[in-house]
Amino acid sequence: MNAVEEGDLIVRREGAAGVIRLNRPKAINAMTLEMSIGIDAALDTFETDPDVAAIILEGAGERGLCAGGDIRGLWESSREGGDLGARFWRQEYVMNARIAKYPKPYVAFMDGLVMGGGVGLSGHASHRVVTDRTRLAMPEVGLGFFPDVGGTWLLSRSPGEIGTYFGLTGQTMNGPDAIHAKFADAVVPAAEWPELREALTKVRKGVTAADVSKLISGFETGETAGPVAAKEPAIDALFGFDRMDDIFAALKRDGSEFALATLKTLNEKSPRGMVVTLKLLRLARTASSLEECLVREYRAALEVFRSDDFREGVRAAVIDKDRNPSWSPPRIEDVTPQMLAPYLAEIGADELKFS
């Protein structure tokens, strides 16, 4: 076991595996800009190291892989008119695209909480392992934001309107529902992970993705659908619209317990955030690549960073924790096309680029 770096990020080689461990357990491994840069550097090292056959991504502690990005830091920079958002998201989104194309098997252990930026680190991996303790979510609309880190690409490729539902409500997926939504590949009981992890450190040089899939299959439960999957017919009927007004109207018309509970959840979210999210999800359906979605997400993220809704959403959820945000505008019908346009506009020389 050869440690390369300690602190908020632990990078080491264990046998044939290059291990990347997020190491902020008290913050459920929330990712900072420095951690993101460190992960990129680790991927550089492991890609060219002939003794590293596969990558293992994991989180320290028992609470989860990663609860997302360092929202508090972004909030402070936004309030001060800083540029942390532009720097953080540019670094993060380019890394997300890199993970999706990484030439060696990349195994993400998605135990416990996996949210926001944690999905960006794991959801694009070649091998995505969830557990009986996984709680995966893209809750950004509750912060006046939208599902980013390639979330619009992933959600738009979930079956039916499942991705629309998860993206707009921010509801949590368990392991089997993450499989159904195409955010993960295998459910492995958390108790089995140490043995699987040990096996991954002993794979041979030149191991293929298929070889790693076969190895993981010896530990997985075979579950492929959870409680939300059972509601897919209702979700398809209620969320199969391109306008938030129509989704709200369908939920009100339906009047079922599920529809009313969903309506209550949506009424707590940022109206502007929901409209932006739905538009990005619909555009993502016709996207030809993850990179295309990330370019669009970066444009929208810069606009979010400048917005009152983002600062208010983070204040209510993270800073003051009063859970009572004052959204601007406060109603879905007040979100105009003119308000939406800046989130989609091209940004010239500042566009996200992939080397």
**Residue in 18, 64, 69, 170 annotated catalytic:** 69
Output the CA angle 188-192-194, nearest 5 degrees. 120
- Cα-Cα-Cα-Cα dihedral sign, residues 119, 22, 76, 85: negative
To the query of whether residue 69 is one of the catalytic residues in this protein, the response is yes
**Residue in 18, 112, 117, 142 annotated catalytic:** 117
Give the H or E element holding residue 3: strand 2-5
Strands, sheet with 54-59, edge to edge from the N-terminal-most edge strand: 2-5, 9-14, 17-22, 54-59, 106-110, 127-130, 186-187
Task: Transcribe 120-154 into DSSP letters.
Answer: HHHTTSSEEEE-TT-EEE--GGGGT----TTHHHH
**Residue in 8, 70, 148, 309 annotated catalytic:** 148
To the query of whether residue 148 is one of the catalytic residues in this protein, the response is yes
Cα–Cα distance, 162 to 3 (Å, whole number): 41
To the query of whether residue 312 is one of the catalytic residues in this protein, the response is no
CA distances from 141 to 7, 25, 83, 218, 256 (A): 31, 25, 21, 38, 24
Provide the annotated active-site residues.
69, 117, 140, 148
